[in-house]
C-alpha cells in the first residue's frame, strides 16, 4: 500500500524539519514548502493526500494554500493565533486546528484519524480545536 503524501507548509526550519522527520517515521511521504508560492507549486506538481499548514508565512497567509487544496483532502492548520483559522474550519470540510506549541504525536494521530475517516464533502458546522503543549 502506498504511503500517503503530506504537504508541510512552515517557514520556520526549527518546526518544519522535526515535523517532516516525525511524519516520515510514522508512515508518510512528505513534500514541504517554506512559502505560499512554493506550496502552490508543490500542489501543482503532485497531488497530496493531506496537508499541515502554518497560517503565518512571512508576508503572506497560509490561507491561500488551504483554500487551494481540493476538498475533502484533510488539512491540519497549526497556528499560535486560533482566531485566524476559525472561518477556515467552519467552511472547509475536513479541516482541524492544532494550536502552537503542539505535540508531534497528537498531530500525527489527528492526521491518521482524518485520513481514515469517511470523506464528507459537506462543510462542517462546528469546529474542534486541539491544544497541546510541545514546541
Task: Please check whether residue 122 lies inside any domain of the structure.
Answer: no
Residue 45 maps to a domain: yes
Please choose, from the candidates 99, 94, 116, the residue with its C-alpha nearest in 3D space to the C-alpha of residue 54: 99
Segments forming the whole domain that contains residue 77: 5-116
Contact 122, 101 (CB under 8 A): no
Asked whether residue 121 is assigned to any structural domain, the reply reads: no
Span of 34-38, 68-72, 80-84 with lowest mean pLDDT = 80-84
Number of domains within the chain: 1
Q: Residue 38 falls within a domain, yes or no?
A: yes
Q: Is residue 88 part of a domain?
A: yes
Q: What CA–CA distance (Å, rounded) separates 9 from 11?
A: 7
The percentage of the chain sitting over the pLDDT mark of 90, rounded to a whole number, equals 53
Query: What is the chain's Cα-based Rg?
Result: 13
CATH code where residue 19 lies: 3.40.50.2300
Task: Flag whether pLDDT at 96 surpasses 80.
Answer: yes
pLDDT at residue 64 is higher than 60: yes
pTM: 0.83
Amino acid at each position: 500500500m502506498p504511503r500517503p503524501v503530506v504537504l508541510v507548509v512552515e517557514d520556520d526550519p526549527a518546526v518544519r524539519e522535526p515535523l517532516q522527520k516525525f511524519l516520515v517515521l510514522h508512515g508518510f511521504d512528505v513534500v514541504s514548502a517554506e512559502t505560499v508560492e512554493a506550496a502552490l507549486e508543490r500542489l501543482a506538481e503532485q497531488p497530496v493526500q493531506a496537508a499541515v499548514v502554518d497560517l503565518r508565512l512571512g508576508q503572506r497567509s497560509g490561507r491561500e494554500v488551504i483554500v487551494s487544496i481540493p476538498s475533502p483532502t484533510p488539512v491540519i492548520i497549526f497556528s499560535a493565533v486560533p482566531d485566524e483559522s476559525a472561518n477556515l474550519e467552519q467552511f472547509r470540510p475536513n479541516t482541524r486546528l492544532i494550536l502552537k506549541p503542539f505535540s508531534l504525536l497528537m498531530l500525527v494521530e489527528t492526521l491518521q484519524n482524518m485520513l481514515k475517516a469517511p470523506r464528507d464533502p459537506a462543510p462542517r458546522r462546528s469546529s474542534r480545536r486541539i491544544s497541546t503543549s510541545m514546541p
